[in-house]
Chains A and B, each alone.
Chain A
Amino acid sequence: MYPSRFRYEAPSSVAEAIALLEEGKGEAKILAGGQSLVPMLKLRFASPELLVDINNIAALDYHHFSSDGALHIGALCRHEHLEKSSDISSRQPTIAAAAPLVADPIVRTRGTFVGSVCHADPQGDWAACMVALDGRIVAQGPSGKREIPVRSFVSGPFQNVLAYNELAVEAVIPAPKGTALGGYMKLERRVGDFATAAVAVAVDVDGGRVTRAGIALTGVGGTTIDAADAAAALVGSSLDAETIARAAELAAGVAQPRSDHRGSASYKRHIINTFTSRLLSGIAESHEKAA
């Protein structure tokens, strides 16, 4: 690979990283897992003057549930860590379902959750999970930290609202209202492929009723799509077949797919319907069994 020339720095603290971003005056880029940025450097789609490699900042390498039940994912937490964590598989079903479907096993050892959300690829799987789960990004700049809900964090395809001197230090997923149920379904042509279409579903249930719901769609629009109406239709319900069918239709209705070599627009819309319905039915079934 023969990218354009760039300066390379690998600071060992967040403060140093931010200072370097300041110095870069908008011509610097963070290098996390490199699984999106390095291909862009190779193709010369990106030609930053300065690369700030954050991989030496050990303090960013974590994920844990805080006492209030919120999940905190540090900027160096790799896809693979989420995939293999027993905490995640027992407490956060949407993330647990998506983790083994992101990219391929090799990419998962390097790519980061936060990097994926920052990259804001409409086909990125984590952004959909974040939207379905009402997640937020914690950004840190010279003047301290601020929290940005994911819905306002992504400002367009491959765009986010971070200032040039800000680093996303962690992602936070709020505690569930009741039992956290959920899932992720992705149609891909082969392992390592981005989604032809995918659906993230997160449903909190208490006393047999849905207390909170989120549904988000991957790969069927210019950004991750928040199927808010579909989710709202679930709240208060017991996930009966009728409600599920209505939610699935609403979800398919807000998709904005394009026809391309992955499939026709109408097919992708159909898949959103089918997957939303399959996910919700599966959730309803497993919840019934557990109850």
Chain B
Amino acid sequence: MTLDEIKIGGMGASRRRVEDNRFIRGKGNYVDDVVLPGMLHMEILRSPVAHARIRSIDVSKAWEIPGVRLVLTGDMLATRNLAWMPTLSYDTQAVLATDKVRFQGQEVAAVIADDPYIAKDACEAIVVDYEVLPVIVNPDQARAAGAALIRDDKENQPDNKVFDWEVGDRSATDKAFAEADVVSEVELHYPRSHPSPLEPCGSIADFDRSTGKLTVYMTTQAPHIIRAAVALVAELPEHMIRIISPDLGGGFGNKVPVYPGYVVSILASILTERPVKWIEDKTGNLISTGFGRDVYLKGQMAVRKDGRILGVRMHTISDHGAFFSDAQPSKFKIGLMHSAFSCYDIPAAHLTAEGWYTNKAPGGVAYRCSFRVTEAMFFQERMVQAAADDLGMDQAEFRRINLVRDDDFPHRTPFGFLTDSGQYGKCLDVALEAIGYEQFLKDQEEARKKGRLLGVGISTMTEPLGAGNSREYDILGIKMFDSAELRVHMTGKAILRTGAKTQGQGHETTWAQIVAHELGIPADDIVVEEGDTDTAPFGMGTYASRSTPVAGAAVAMVSRKIRAKARKIAAHLLEVSEEDIEWELGRFYVRSSPDRGVSIQECAMAAYSNMPDGMEPGLENVAYYDPPNLTWPFAAYVATVEVDPETGVWDVLRMVAVDDCGVRINPMVVEGQIMGGLTEAYAMASMQFITFDAEGNCIGSNYMDYLLPTAWETPGFELHEVVTPCPHHPIGAKGIGECATVGGPAAFVNAVMNAVQHLGVRNIDMPLLPDRVHAAINTRSDISGAPPVRTDSP
């Protein structure tokens, strides 16, 4: 009897998430839940000002408080060469400030005490004398003549520029523009946002002098990268470092970088020879850790009257904060920004990019953004809508004309990536059909006559997910591949470990389903473990939607290795030659007499009790997987909205999402990823941003000012699927983790613009707060380029 794959929790089963059992019972084990004997507590003193020279730091009062064990400043770190650390993009970042503070919230000193209350009291007792310097809060100020030099610590840094960079074919693009009937322009700001995982960052460093071993519990999405970084920065031997990333309360890219708090807690444990716990508070997390976006995007599109796009130009100006600390997987300074326009058939494109230091927290690539893909796709879809409007062509029709056709793969994108598969037109059609596009346009006409403003917005995109391949992608030279190790026990149960690190994606559920699919072992018989560098095989971690494309592929490959060995054992047990053996899910049988067979579980037992002569015992293996290409999922999102012309308040009427992420391992988990992503997309479109006043004060340092949408205002989402398997992935899957966050915002913004465009408004920058929408309608003008936050007196 053949096994029912859905019943054993294999591919395609909407199996309940096994990790949720402990999460919903409050039994998760987060870093802050870990309590070690003799543990001390660390608190960080942060800078209240955005740019200042440190004249002096007086820690004497802090030392006087009973229960204080250690007070650390940048000068003390400097004696050990630890005041600065390298970032993941070849820059340096202050661990504790020595010379200057460069953003509000920067780490200045640390207190280690018997409990966190004492540590906090002692932080308040530290007196820092700041000489306040001029503050730079945006690239315009950074580039101004005579601007204060933020990075005066660096040699060969005469100004505030981080980089200049270009990609594409300038002369071919110029030629395309010369042939254009219409040239459209867009200029916008993608505001700074923050992933704000519900669990902030933290670590417990435990250095044991007697063994020389350093164990660090840490909120990290990439434990192996951290181990390498600690080995290089702290100059500790790598085999004596164990990084454990236990349950994570969300990451969204916020937990990829190395943060000063981690480093200081490690040093503190080495100095005190006791475990030292550091748990950041929510404000610390919002004002100092990896943020997303903060990019000004400008561009032009050359189009022909018949609707064909001939070429695009893009220019991006990115604000990196005080240190260039993005994780950089590509050779390019602005990540994968040049993945823009990949779903359209465009002959010529050129992109220039500049990056600037400002007196703001460092980062830029967090928040489900896949290394700037979010900005790229948002710009792309705003540009496409503007061009359609300028041509006077229907926005859906314009997309249909330019989308890459199904028979055009593999397709070279305008900036040189190779896409391999998709049914773009079909996805768009499914979405338009679901939303009732034609009827909505009629309703919109009618409503307009009564003064009501309805709008429909579309966003279609493919994005590059799953770095690497190792030829093109690395972090600090470490190639981007991933791994899986599978140990099948004698009773046919198994443990699987990977180099990825789940933080809500559901790896404990879905990896077991891949094994079930490959081996026929029920998913419930497989335990999945990640995050401990002493036990997991080396891997690059989880971010950029890379787990299923890379680690997930490794899971399939290691299962196949196990199956290959089991086949030999089966031949031995069935007393036939290997060539005479056939496989069906969970069972080998003799081709000529299918009734004679052995289950995978029987093979497992034999691997420990009755292996063929000369065969290595056991049933365990490891696979490292280096993908041949990125995976290219596609999405078509369509939103309809109604705008209240009197207040500028807008409501989402419907949101339809059609995702093609190839083969879906667990459809329910995929839908969860999409719904979460659309919620974040809605948040960014409607309410979420971090801004700064002229003094560099962060506005958005708590949940009163930085808004996370609740279930109350989040619209309902209608999900549909199209499946185009990935041609190079062993199980045909593509990345999905970030699609909705990346592609969603443009659908909402395009919908609002569609509602007000006849009133002379072409762009309103996110977030589309009611007062911005109202002002744009009333003044019949755009709101572009980050209006500064004014705070005036009554």
Contact = CB atoms under 8 A, between A and B. Distances in A.
Interface residues of A, number: 31
B771 interface: yes
Contacts of A194: 704
B794 A260 contact: no
B715 interface: no
Contacts of B504: none
Given A104-B710, A263-B770, A2 B116 contact: yes
A11 B117 CA distance: 26
B438 interface: no
B769 interface: yes
B704 A261 contact: no
A36 to B, nearest CB: 11
A259 B792 contact: yes
Nearest to B649: A187
Contact of A190 (B119, B648, B712): B712
B294 to A, nearest CB: 16
Contact of B791 (A3, A4, A260, A274): A260
Contacts of B120: 2, 44
A221 interface: yes
Contacts of A257: 794
A192 B687 contact: no
B91 interface: no
Interface residues of B, number: 32
Nearest to A268: B771
B691 interface: yes
A193 B774 contact: no
B775 interface: yes
Nearest to A42: B281
Interface in B109-139: 116-117, 119-121, 124
A2 B123 CA distance: 12
B705 interface: yes
Contacts of B124: 44
Contacts of A261: 691, 699, 705, 789
Contacts of A262: 769, 771
A56 to B, nearest CB: 25
B647 interface: yes
A241 to B, nearest CB: 16
A265 B646 CA distance: 16
Given A257-B794, A267-B771, A267-B775, A189 B691 contact: no
A109 to B, nearest CB: 15
A90 to B, nearest CB: 26
Interface in B168-211: none
B693 to A, nearest CB: 9
B698 to A, nearest CB: 11
Nearest to A123: B704
Interface string A256-276: 111111111101101100100
Interface in B736-794: 769-771, 774-775, 789-794
B709 interface: yes
Interface string A180-219: 0000000101111110100000000000000000000000
Interface centre among A191, A194, A221, A222 (most CB of B within 10 A): A191
B769 A190 contact: no
B585 interface: no
B126 to A, nearest CB: 14
Nearest to A273: B646
Nearest to A270: B774
B707 A189 contact: yes
B121 to A, nearest CB: 7
B710 A274 contact: no
Contacts of A190: 687, 707, 709-710, 712-713
A206 to B, nearest CB: 32
A265 B791 CA distance: 9
A22 to B, nearest CB: 28
A260 B713 CA distance: 22
A222 B794 contact: yes
Given A258-B791, A259-B790, A271 B775 contact: no
Contacts of B649: 187
Contacts of B705: 261
Contacts of A256: 794
A289 interface: no
Interface string A155-192: 00000000000000000000000000000000101111
Contact of B712 (A191, A196, A263): A191
A191 B771 contact: no
A7 interface: no
B774 A267 contact: yes
Contacts of B687: 189-190
A264 B794 contact: no
A259 B788 CA distance: 11
A264 B710 CA distance: 25
Contacts of B712: 104, 190-191
A89 B421 CA distance: 59
B707 A193 contact: yes
Contact of A265 (B43, B116, B792): B792
B499 to A, nearest CB: 36
A187 B647 contact: yes
A2 B284 CA distance: 14
A103 to B, nearest CB: 11
Contacts of B713: 190-191
Given A2-B116, A257-B794, A260-B789, A187 B710 contact: no
B647 A271 contact: yes
Interface in A241-289: 256-265, 267-268, 270-271, 274
Nearest to A189: B687
Interface string B692-708: 00000001000011010
Given A2-B117, A189-B707, A190-B687, A258 B789 contact: no
A270 B794 CA distance: 15
Interface string B661-680: 00000000000000000000
Nearest to B646: A274
A267 B646 CA distance: 10
Contact of A191 (B647, B691, B710, B770): B710
A68 B764 CA distance: 54
A221 B794 contact: yes
Interface in B620-656: 646-649
A44 B792 CA distance: 26
Nearest to A260: B791
**CB-CB nearest 8 A-B residue pairs:** A263-B771, A267-B771, A191-B712, A256-B794, A259-B790, A2-B120, A191-B710, A189-B687
28 contacts: A2-B116, A2-B119, A5-B117, A44-B120, A104-B712, A187-B649, A190-B707, A190-B709, A190-B712, A190-B713, A193-B707, A194-B704, A196-B770, A256-B794, A258-B793, A259-B790, A259-B791, A260-B789, A260-B791, A262-B769, A262-B771, A264-B771, A265-B792, A265-B794, A267-B770, A267-B775, A271-B647, A274-B647
Interface of A: 2-5, 44, 104, 187, 189-194, 196, 221-222, 256-265, 267-268, 270-271, 274
Given A260-B790, A268-B771, 16 more contacts: A3-B117, A5-B117, A189-B707, A190-B687, A190-B710, A190-B712, A191-B710, A193-B707, A258-B792, A259-B790, A261-B705, A261-B789, A262-B769, A263-B769, A264-B771, A265-B794
Interface of B: 43, 116-117, 119-121, 124, 646-649, 687, 691, 699, 704-705, 707, 709-710, 712-713, 769-771, 774-775, 789-794
